[in-house]
């Protein structure tokens, strides 16, 4: 009977040691993978935020200038004598793109 108790005790010690070592290895692996998973999640969140953010860098489109309004202003300046005939013709050509 003492041999049986000694065998059972030895088995219990071996099993306990194996469980402790296995637990420590599992804990270290869990910590390692938790850090990696947190980094992956942060990268994905940053990519998502960047993809869904409105394009703030895009410049606002310049308001279109009414061509007729600009020509009317030039005509008024010429009529008032502020612009000469040559200056009027140059500004009109610039507006009309020719």
Residues 71 and 37 reside in one and the same domain? no
The per-residue DSSP string of the chain comes to -HHHHHHHHHHHHHHHHHHHHHHHHHHHHHHHHHHHHHHHHHHHHHHHHHHHS--SSSPPPPPPPPHHHHHHHHHHHHHHTSS-HHHHHHHHHHHHT-
Please determine, for residue 98, whether its predicted confidence score (pLDDT) is greater than 70: no
Distance CA 26, CA 22 (A): 6
Residues 49 and 89 reside in one and the same domain? no
Residues 74 and 92 reside in one and the same domain? yes
More reliable by pLDDT, 12 or 69: 69
- What does the pLDDT look like over 19-48, one tens digit per residue? 776 777 778 888 888 888 888 888 888 888
Domains in the chain: how many in total? 2
Residue 64: what pLDDT? 62
- Which domain does 29 fall in, by range? 1-55
């Amino acid at each position: 009977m003492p041999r049986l108790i000694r065998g059972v005790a030895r088995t219990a010690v071996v099993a306990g040691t194996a469980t402790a070592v296995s637990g420590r290895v599992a804990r270290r692996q869990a910590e390692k993978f938790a850090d990696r998973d947190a980094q992956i999640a942060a990268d994905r969140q940053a990519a998502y935020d960047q993809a869904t953010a409105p394009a703030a860098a895009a410049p606002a489109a310049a308001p279109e200038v009414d061509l007729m309004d600009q020509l009317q202003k030039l005509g008024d300046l010429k009529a008032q004598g502020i612009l000469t005939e040559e200056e009027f013709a140059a500004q009109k050509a610039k507006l009309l793109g020719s």
